[in-house]
């Protein structure tokens, strides 16, 4: 039985795994490419990770695609208002997201990183900075996050290798995640 969208009764769009890994002088965001409507995969190569602010900020989304694009646009606008202040821009976005009638209905979550900070932004007004530099969101996020935590302390692997292997683990376990990865990175 497929999940139903609360307001329309239509099958819900499901599936995404977004992982961010910060290690050494590198930060990476990886996302899978699968989009699922109910029990059907409707797209296998969606691009859920974006580079913003001329490549200085990376973001990945989990949730409804149109909602995520709206949030990316709003985040870029906040980054224009608060250049080089990613945390401040995300806090302002979260405030708008929680209080604006239109934005309040958006069903998405975003992971955002720059050279110095990694953040999770939610529609509940949360702006969370993980203490270990690892973020996992979406249906396979916990699988990818668990794998990344297991791999992060191995000296011979860098952030990109941790992300690729962890995303592969998530794709093997989560039926809403595939192995068509989009990966963006920054040098810190």
Angle between helices 86-99 and 65-81 (to 10 degrees): 130
16 catalytically annotated: yes
Q: How far apart are CA 75 and CA 128, in angstroms?
A: 15
Q: Which of 16, 17, 177, 182 is catalytic?
A: 16
Catalytic residue numbers? Answer: 16
């Amino acid at each position: 039985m497929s999940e139903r969208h609360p307001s329309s009764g239509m099958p819900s769009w499901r599936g995404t795994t977004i992982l961010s890994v910060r290690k050494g002088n590198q930060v990476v965001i990886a996302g899978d490419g699968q989009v699922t409507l109910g029990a059907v995969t409707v797209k296998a190569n969606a691009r859920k990770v974006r580079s913003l602010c001329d490549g200085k900020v990376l973001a990945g989304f989990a949730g409804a695609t149109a909602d995520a694009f709206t949030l990316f646009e709003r985040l870029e606008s906040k980054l224009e208002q608060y250049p080089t202040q990613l945390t401040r821009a995300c806090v302002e976005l979260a405030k708008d997201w929680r209080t604006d009638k239109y934005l309040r209905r958006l069903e998405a979550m975003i992971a955002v990183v720059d050279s110095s900070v990694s953040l999770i932004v939610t529609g509940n007004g949360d702006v969370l900075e993980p203490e270990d530099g690892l973020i996992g969101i979406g249906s396979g996020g916990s699988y990818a996050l668990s794998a990344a935590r297991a791999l992060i302390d191995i000296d011979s692997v860098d952030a990109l290798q941790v992300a690729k292997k962890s995303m592969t683990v998530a794709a093997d376990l989560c039926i809403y995640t595939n192995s068509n990865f989009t990966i963006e990175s920054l040098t810190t």
